[in-house]
Each structure stands twice: as structure tokens, then as C-alpha cells.
Amino acid sequence: MRGALLPAQLAAITSTRTGSLAIFIVRRILWMVPILFFVILITFSLMHLAPGSPWDKEGGRQLSDTVVNNLNIRYGLNKPVTQQFFLYISSVIHFDFGLSYQYQNKTVSGLLLESWPYTATIGVLAFLLIIPVGVSLGVLAALRQNTRIDYITMGFATVAASFPNFVIGALMVVVFGVLSYKATGGNFYLPTAGFALDDHLIMPVLTLALLPIAYTARLTRASTLEAIRQDFVRTAWAKGLPERLVVIRHVLKNSLIPVVTTLGPTFAFLVTGSVIVETVFSIPGIGRAFVVAIESRDYPMILGTTVLFSLVIAVANLVVDVAYVFIDPRVRLT
Amino acid sequence: MHLGFRLRAITLATAGVFLAACGGGTTTSANLAPAAQQILRANNGIEPNSFDPTQQTYTYERAVGIQTFDSLFRAKADSSDVEALGATSYDVSSDGLTYTFHLRQGVKWSDGKPVTASDWVYGWKHFLNPALAAGYVDPFFDGTIKGAGNYGTVDVASASAVDAYLNGLGLSAPDDKTFVVKLDHPAAYFKWVATLWMAVPLRKDVIEAAAGGPFASTDATKAEAWANNAATIIGQGPYKIKEIASKDHVTLVPNPNYWAAAPHLQEITYYEISDGNTAFSQYQTGALDMIGVPLADVTVVRSDPKLSKEAKLIPTLSQYWISYNSTRAPLDDPKVRMALSKSIDRDKLVNDIEHGNGKSLATFIPKGMNGYDTSDNAQSFDPAAAKKLLADSGKTAQLSKMKLITRNSTASKTLNQFLSDQWSTNLGVTIALDVIDSKTVTRNIRKGQFDIYGLDGWISDYPDQQDWYDIFVTGSCHNLNWGCVSNPAYDDLVTKADAESDKTKRAQEYSQAQKLLNDNAVVGFMYQPYEYDLVKPYVQGLTVTTTDDQNLPGDGRYNQAYITQH
């Protein structure tokens, strides 16, 4: 039968667990439309309120008024701002994010597609590192609370969380790059800049992952400590289960809930790029492109990147919410 | 001015471009690295915004432009005159209004097609198309080329208006080997304009094919479609683009159809590493052969026994100055401006702030150019004289209300704090810093909303004085002439000298104009910056000139450079 569902059928679907999940997802996706609209509105307003024009130069001779005027016409900046806004919205609906001002004749979508894979590769690798390393360190510290292992692990986490990543990045470059190169006559060292699917990835991924690893470790430790004091864990011990089973089957499943909550935003944070990591290691990623776009008032590029980031964050949060359903049986999505 | 009595027919050396290089011009073949190692890896800092030379305005764009396209001429290595490149000679009509460029015979594009005079006409029209709004168009062309003066009034939304403008330009190709440019008024410097990186020929067929067919002259998107793809960037320069790895590097390989002897360097890779420290570590780990030393690492390099030997300190044709807003009292008083100018210890500025990368210079024209003359010591550091000048003016109290507009960056704050300290120590006047975000500073100085702005400056486009003096003519107010000092006597001298064909007279007129700038303290001249670069010892045959890119010493003549065994 085609057409609209009968109320009874609808009720039947929503009453099942998968049905309510599907409706939840659809509703959340629909919610993204007004969210994106307001993200664009706010970004657009801030961008035009910020001082400076895309045609300003940092120093020296500026473009003449004639050239500026012709550039404004070329890029439609001579139209009233409200008209520019609605023109932009209508082109976004057609998946056209416009031309970059800074890079002549390159489309914003083209520029994003060009730079995002670099950022995403490093972000995903860092993320894959965070879960096993961060969670294991946290669990280990909790199970061996107030022992030397706990102190070493948490000491590491505290240090890693306190050092800004430009310091860590620069330190790694000096130690594993320049000094290693000098000490071994160029035979053993890590490349200090650029992107390639080889040892070029080691330092950027580590620099990016260190802080989230530290956070994840501390969070996991805290939630694990809470979980192992629960009655059901005591019961599991009392039943004589081996430590491995108690930890994996009973403790972890509960202690991971707060960790999963943070993993969504962490993932979004990692794959939207770090300006510092991308600058220190000269990676042509999206984080640096975003900052350069802001500095040079490349309006379409700023908007395009913001829209992409908002989407990534919204999707990551949605995935986390859905993941709850499978991790925590108490959660019902409505 | 009277130009009419002389016919100039200058034939430039056609084959004599192989100059004695700074690093030794002759190659010992035994020492030469094999072809596979003839690769130069340099840091160009930032990705060019466009690979179309006519659209390029920044040095990092020009760096690629001059490798892929030849202009009519280039500056000689010693900057004394122009020498042949796309053209081998030129004639000037007796009235100074018609330049006839005789193009080099047998020159081919990188795809093997012959370069014709109509390609030059097409390229220059592309550059002057107001709908494309090329950034560097106005300082050179709009008042010079016949018909170009209407540039600002063309309706860029109307293809017929743009076409009418372009067809009315004084550019023509009477035959395949002759490119004729008619001027609106005599311009003795026009041979230098012909050296500019954006004044190149372009291929109509290639541009139209990339655009998917003929297009309206107002369609900027189609007109530039060719410039994003290495395959359609067909030039006639010594190198061609092999690969564009966006925001990472550009790879250049020899143009097999170039008219001169094949180069040694089989590949030039320009990396786009924006962070100076990252580039420095890449140099130290052998991943780069050539970098500009970041200011923070200058002392490290100077004290390192190995690196200091690889360093080159190269004068640039540039000068920095302090701008005074002459429309605000008391800065409208030349005495006050002079007192401020005379109370800065420029040697200390160069040593303490610039780590020695420069030379104090209290006059306008930098060393290495005609017109460099330090005999006028009107602005030279002299605290006693400065104090006396200020006391005579009776405006000390007023001056202490002035502020030094400062960009919110470490470099700008450090520098301006130094200036403020100097005025406090040497002149006894407190001038506070007004720190604002950089974009607002640019907007404010453009609108004349500032008291004192330090430092701004100029890098030569070509080593002719005309390129400098028009900065301070009345009409250029609010565009680098931020302080808007206006002097009809100065304007007169510059207009005369720009058109003057007699070298001696021209030099005298510019010299008088320079004296007016110095003596009225139109701005406070500070120092000529030097470039501090590192070059690996195995990079040889570089001809380092003052017109090279700042971080790419010798880039004007890379086709003579080579890599030795290492």
C-alpha cells in the first residue's frame, strides 16, 4: 500500500524500539535545517560586522578604489547585505557554496574537498588512538588505584593535558626531527613537515591525540572507580568471576557511558582540524584554511567551512545519542 | 615636456644573458650532480592565489609567474638597465608616445606553438580588462597606455562597454614579430613597465578551450578557468608547472620549448610552508635547500658554525618609514615631524629589533638604485637638534597627545614600543601606543584616522625611480601616502621627471624631489631591510640580484643554477 500511513500503523511503528529510533533520527536530521540556517545567519552577520574588507592588504600599497569597486561587482558585494544573505541561502539550497575570494576561481566546495581529507585522515587516526590508549590507561589506573601504576598514568595524563599542543609539537620537531637528524647524520629522524601516508603522520597524530588521550584517561578512571563500587560488580566478584570478565562485562559497559558522551564532540573536534597542528607540521588541512579565510575575510570560504563544521558536529552528536541506546538499556529516545 | 628630438633605438644583447654569477658562473661538469638530483626545493611560504600572472599581486605569486611566463624585458643583474627577454629590442617614436617592441624570433609556448605578437596584445588586454579587476593594474597602466585612463569608469557589467574599452587601447600587432604600445603621455620609464610579471602574452585558444568556448569579456569566472589547472597553464617562460598540490607545493619542470639553453635544474619545488620555524626545521633536516630565516632564529643561525656559513644577507630594494598624519595638528608642522624623525636611533632599531637585517637609511631611495644619496642628513639621528626643533615649534604639549597606531601583533607592538621609547628618551615626549586589530588599522589609515603610523614601506617593482616617487604625489593620498602631505612643487618635479628622456635632467629632478621629501619630513625614513636567507652549499650558479624574490635568492635566473655532488 502506498501513500500515507494509517495512524494505527504509525503507532505500531513508533511503539517498536527500531521504529522510535528511526523517527528520532529523522526528526534530528530535520532539526539540522533551522540550526544550519541560524549558523549561517550568525556567521554571516558577524563576518560583515567584523572590520576590514576581503580586499585589504596587511601593509604597503592598497588596491585602488576603482579595483576594489570592480572586485565588489565581480563578487556581488555591491548588492545590499540582506540581498547577499538571501542569495547565499538560495545557492546553498542548490549545494552551491560559491567562489572563494582569495583563491581565484576556485569553488568553496572544491577547496573544502581538497583540504578536508588531510585533516580527516589525521583526525581519524588520532581518534583511533584515543579510544584504546585513553580507555586502557584510565581502566588500568582505576583498577590499580593509589599504586605506582596509577600515579604514573595520572601523572602522564596531567602533564599531557597541561602542555599546549604547539609546545608539544615544537618539542617533538626539535627532538625527533632536528636533533635526531643531527645525531644520526640524517639516517634516523621523523619528517618535520608535510603530509604523506607514512612516517610523516607520526608526529602530527601524536600531537593531536595527546590531549584527548589524557582527558579520556582521567574520565575513564573516574567513571571506572565509580562503577567498581557498584553492587552488581561486587556481586560479580562474589560469584568468583575472573578479573578480565568482571572488567569487560560489568565494569566497562557502565563506566564507558560518560566516555562515549565526550567521544562525539572529541571526534568532531579532531576531524575539523587543529590550526596549530596543521601550521606546525605544514599540513594543507581545513583548520588552517579556515583561519586563513577568516584573516583574509574570504566570506564564502568562512561560511562554507562553518556549515561543514556544524554538520560534522551535529552528526557526531546524533551518533552519540544513538549509541546510548545500545550501551545503556535505560535510555529511551523520544 | 620636450621629448621630441631624440629617436631611441636600443638593441639589447640577445645572447648575452649569461652573466658572471655571484656564486661562480662556470660549471665544472665533474662536480655536477646527476640529472636526477638536479632538484631545487625552496620555501615560497604561501600558495599563489592565482597562476595567471596578470592577476598576481604578491611576491609569492610573482615567484611562480616569472618562471612560467616571460615579460618583454627583465632587469639586468646589476639593475642598471633592462635586458632582452620576450623582446630583443625596442624603438621609441620621436614624440615618446609609441613603443615598438621587436619580439624574439622563434619563441614557442610550452606546448610548442609559436608565440605571436597578437598573443601579447591578448595578454595585455586580459590584464587591463576592468571586469577581471587585476590587483596591480592601476599604478602602472591606467594613466600611461593610450585609452587605459578610462579604466575606472567602464561599466564592468556590460560586455559591450568592456569590449569598447579594450578595443580602444593603444595595443596592436602590425605583424607576428612586432608589438606596438601607444601611450597617452611620454613615460621615460615605460621600458621598466615592460619588465613587470603581469605584462605577459596569453593564449586565446587555451583560455577559450578551458572556458568551454568563447565567452563574454565580463565573465571573469570563464576568463580565469584555465589558471587552476597545470595542464592549461601554457606559458613561454623557462619552466612550466608540472603539479599543483594545493597549499602544499608547486612543482616546476623545464619548458622543453624555451628559447635559451636547457637549464641544469630539472625540477623546482616551491613549498608553501607558512610557519618560518617549520621551514627552518625542514631546512635543518635536509628537506629544503633554501629558506628565509625567521626573525626569531636569526641569532641561532649567526652563532651556529655550520649554518652561519650557509647564510646570505641580501639587500632588498626597499625602504621603511614612519607616516605622520599631516592633516592633524601638530603634525602639520614640518618642524614637529622633523623632530620626531631626528630622534630615532636607526642603527639601534636595525640591531635590536631587526637583528641586524638591514641598514639604517634616513633618506628615501634605497641602496642599489639610481638616486641613492645619503648626503642629505636633514633627518639623521640627532637628539639635541630634534629637541631644539620641537622647543622652537612650541608644540610639545600638543605632540604628547598624539598616539602611535599599532597592529595587534607581536612584531608591530615590539617595533612601535621601540619607537615610543626612543621619543621618550631622545625627545622627552610620551607618545602612547594605540593597539587595535590589524584589519581596523588598515581601515583607519586608509581613512586618515590616525596620528602616527609606523612602519610602512615600499619594495621596488622595478629599479627605476619613477616606481618610488609617485607614492607621495598629491593624487595618491590615502594609499601608502597615508599622511597626505601635499606639495605642488614636488608633484611638478615628479611629473616632469617621469616624462623626461634626458637621463641627467631626469636624475636632477628626482634628486630635487627627494630633497623635498627629506627636508619637509613628509615621512620619517628609517631603514632599508635586508633579506637573511639560508642556501645549502650544493646549490650553485645562483645569480643573486636585488630584484629576486625575498626568500628565493637568484630566482630571476634559476635556469643558470645547478646542484653539485653532495
Predicted confidence band of residue B172 (pLDDT cuts 50, 70, 90): very high
Name the residue among A120, A108, A114 with its Cα closest to residue A273: A120
Q: Any CB–CB contact under 8 A between A57 and chain B?
A: yes
* Interface size, chain A vs chain B, as Cβ–Cβ contacts under 8 Å: 147
A179 contacts on B by Cβ (under 8 Å): none
Name the residue among B480, B535, B490, B479 with its Cα closest to residue B514: B490
A71 contacts on B by Cβ (under 8 Å): 133
- Asked if the Cβ–Cβ distance from B248 to A195 is below 8 Å, we say yes
User: Position A283: which residue type?
Assistant: I
Arithmetic mean of pLDDT, B68-78: 95
Predicted confidence band of residue A51 (pLDDT cuts 50, 70, 90): confident
Predicted confidence band of residue A253 (pLDDT cuts 50, 70, 90): confident
SS (H, E, C) B455-494: EEEEECCCCCCHHHHHHHCHHHECCCECCCCCCHHHHHHH
Phi, psi torsion values for A26, nearest 5 degrees = -60, -40
The CA-to-CA distance between both ends of chain B, in Å, stands at 59
Helix, strand or coil, per DSSP, at residue B341: helix
Helix, strand or coil, per DSSP, at residue B245: strand
- Return the residue matching grid coordinates 610548442: B112
CA distance B60 to B197: 12
Predicted confidence band of residue B398 (pLDDT cuts 50, 70, 90): very high
- Asked if the Cβ–Cβ distance from B442 to A103 is below 8 Å, we say no
> From the CA atom positions of chain A, what is the Rg in Å?
25
Q: Note the pLDDT of residue B3.
A: 25
When comparing pLDDT for A16 and A284, which is higher? A284
Predicted confidence band of residue B21 (pLDDT cuts 50, 70, 90): very low
CA distance B471 to B130: 23
Residue B18: is its pLDDT beyond 50? Answer: no
DSSP designation for B443: H
Residue B49: is its pLDDT beyond 60? Answer: yes
- Asked if the Cβ–Cβ distance from A284 to B272 is below 8 Å, we say yes
| HSE toward the beta carbon, residue B215, CA cutoff 13 A | 22
Q: Note the pLDDT of residue A11.
A: 58
Those of residues 165-224 in B touching chain A at CB distance below 8 A are: 220-221, 224
Name the residue among A298, A233, A248, A289 with its Cα closest to residue A117: A289
Name the residue among B534, B477, B530 with its Cα closest to residue B282: B534
The answer to whether B549 and B62 have CB atoms below 8 angstroms apart is yes
Predicted confidence band of residue B256 (pLDDT cuts 50, 70, 90): very high
Q: Note the pLDDT of residue B358.
A: 95
- Asked if the Cβ–Cβ distance from B133 to A70 is below 8 Å, we say yes
Q: Any CB–CB contact under 8 A between B65 and chain A?
A: no
Q: How many CB atoms lie within 10 A of CB B83?
A: 18
User: Position A197: which residue type?
Assistant: L
- Asked if the Cβ–Cβ distance from A52 to B442 is below 8 Å, we say yes
Residue B331: is its pLDDT beyond 50? Answer: yes
Above pLDDT 70, what percent of chain A?
Answer: 93
Name the residue among A150, A145, A149, A132 with its Cα closest to residue A227: A145
Q: How many CB atoms lie within 10 A of CB A261?
A: 16
Burial code (b: 16+ CB inside 10 Å, e: under 16) for B276-293 equals: bbbbbbbbbbebbbbbbb
> Would the CA dihedral through B456, B460, B465, B471 be positive or negative?
negative
Arithmetic mean of pLDDT, B116-129: 97
Q: Which helix (H) or strand (E) holds B241?
A: strand B239-245
Out of A109-118, A222-231, B18-27, least confident range: B18-27
- Return the residue matching grid coordinates 658562473: B25
C-alpha cell at B141: 597602466
The model's pLDDT over A114-149, given as tens digits with 9 standing for 90+, comes to 999 999 999 999 999 999 999 999 999 999 999 999
A114 contacts on B by Cβ (under 8 Å): 246-247
SS (H, E, C) chain A: CCCCCCHHHHHHHHHCHHHHHHHHHHHHHHHHHHHHHHHHHHHHHHHHHCCCCCCCCCCCCCCCHHHHHHHHHHCCCCCCHHHHHHHHHHHHHCCCCCECCCCCCCEHHHHHHHHHHHHHHHHHHHHHHHHHHHHHHHHHHHHCCCCHHHHHHHHHHHHHHHCCHHHHHHHHHHHHHHHHHHHCCCCCCCCCCCCCCCHHHHHHHHHHHHHHHHHHHHHHHHHHHHHHCCHHHHHHHHCCCCHHHHHHHHHHHHHHHHHHHHHHHHHHHHHCCCHHHHHHCCCCCHHHHHHHHHHCCCHHHHHHHHHHHHHHHHHHHHHHHHHHHHHCCCCCCC
CA distance B502 to B506: 6
* pTM for the full predicted model: 0.89
| HSE toward the beta carbon, residue A192, CA cutoff 13 A | 32
Name the residue among A264, A109, A125, A285 with its Cα closest to residue A195: A285
Q: Note the pLDDT of residue A257.
A: 86
C-alpha cell at B196: 613587470
Q: How many CB atoms lie within 10 A of CB B548?
A: 24
- Return the residue matching grid coordinates 620555524: B277
Residue of B285, B406, B456 to mutate, testing the A interface (most A Cβ within 10 Å of its Cβ): B285
Above pLDDT 90, what percent of chain A?
Answer: 59
Nearest to B278 among A281, A284, A289 (CB): A281
Q: Note the pLDDT of residue A323.
A: 84
Helix, strand or coil, per DSSP, at residue B262: coil
Helix, strand or coil, per DSSP, at residue B140: coil
Arithmetic mean of pLDDT, B455-476: 90
- Asked if the Cβ–Cβ distance from B279 to A193 is below 8 Å, we say yes
Those of residues 219-238 in A touching chain B at CB distance below 8 A are: none
Arithmetic mean of pLDDT, B490-495: 95
The answer to whether A54 and A296 have CB atoms below 8 angstroms apart is yes
Residue A85: is its pLDDT beyond 50? Answer: yes
Those of residues 43-62 in B touching chain A at CB distance below 8 A are: 47, 49-50, 52, 55
Residue B270: is its pLDDT beyond 70? Answer: yes
B47 contacts on A by Cβ (under 8 Å): 103
| DSSP calls for B38-91 | -EEEEE--S--S-S-GGG--SHHHHHHHHHH---SEEE-TTSSSEEESSEEEEE
Q: Note the pLDDT of residue A15.
A: 59
User: pLDDT averaged over chain A?
Assistant: 89
CA distance B164 to B153: 12
Arithmetic mean of pLDDT, B31-59: 93
The answer to whether B316 and B531 have CB atoms below 8 angstroms apart is yes
- Asked if the Cβ–Cβ distance from B446 to A62 is below 8 Å, we say yes
- C-alpha separations of A130 from A115, A222, A224, A314, B384 in Å: 23, 17, 17, 21, 66
C-alpha cell at A208: 593531536
Name the residue among B271, B272, B268, B292 with its Cα closest to residue B280: B292
Q: Note the pLDDT of residue B29.
A: 58
| DSSP calls for B154-181 | S-TT-HHHHHHHHHTSSEEEEETTEEEE
Phi, psi torsion values for A107, nearest 5 degrees = -80, 150
The model's pLDDT over B85-95, given as tens digits with 9 standing for 90+, comes to 999 999 999 99
Residue B14: is its pLDDT beyond 60? Answer: no
Quote the minimal CA–CA distance from B65 to chain A in Å.
15
When comparing pLDDT for B403 and B442, which is higher? B403
Arithmetic mean of pLDDT, A155-182: 93
Quote the minimal CA–CA distance from B241 to chain A in Å.
17
The answer to whether A213 and A160 have CB atoms below 8 angstroms apart is yes
User: Position B13: which residue type?
Assistant: A
Nearest to A52 among B135, B282, B439 (CB): B439
Helix, strand or coil, per DSSP, at residue B209: helix
Report the chain A residue with the minimal C-alpha distance to residue B247: A284
Q: For the CA atoms of A209, A212, A215, A217, what is the dihedral angle to 10 degrees?
A: -50
Burial code (b: 16+ CB inside 10 Å, e: under 16) for A83-107 equals: ebbeebeeebeeeebbbbbbbbbbb
Quote the minimal CA–CA distance from A56 to chain B in Å.
7
Arithmetic mean of pLDDT, A241-257: 87
* Residues with Cβ within 8 Å of residue B265, at least 6 apart in sequence: B38, B39, B40, B254, B558, B559, B561, B562, B563
User: pLDDT averaged over chain B?
Assistant: 90
- Return the residue matching grid coordinates 618610488: B468
Pairing of strands B73-75, B562-563: unpaired
Residue of A74, A121, A122, A305 to mutate, testing the B interface (most B Cβ within 10 Å of its Cβ): A74
Q: Any CB–CB contact under 8 A between A199 and chain B?
A: no
Nearest to A74 among B133, B138, B439 (CB): B133
Q: Note the pLDDT of residue B19.
A: 31
Residue A246: is its pLDDT beyond 50? Answer: yes
Residue B530: is its pLDDT beyond 80? Answer: yes
A80 prior amide bond cis, ω within 30: no
Pairing of strands B8-11, B87-92: antiparallel
Q: Note the pLDDT of residue B234.
A: 97
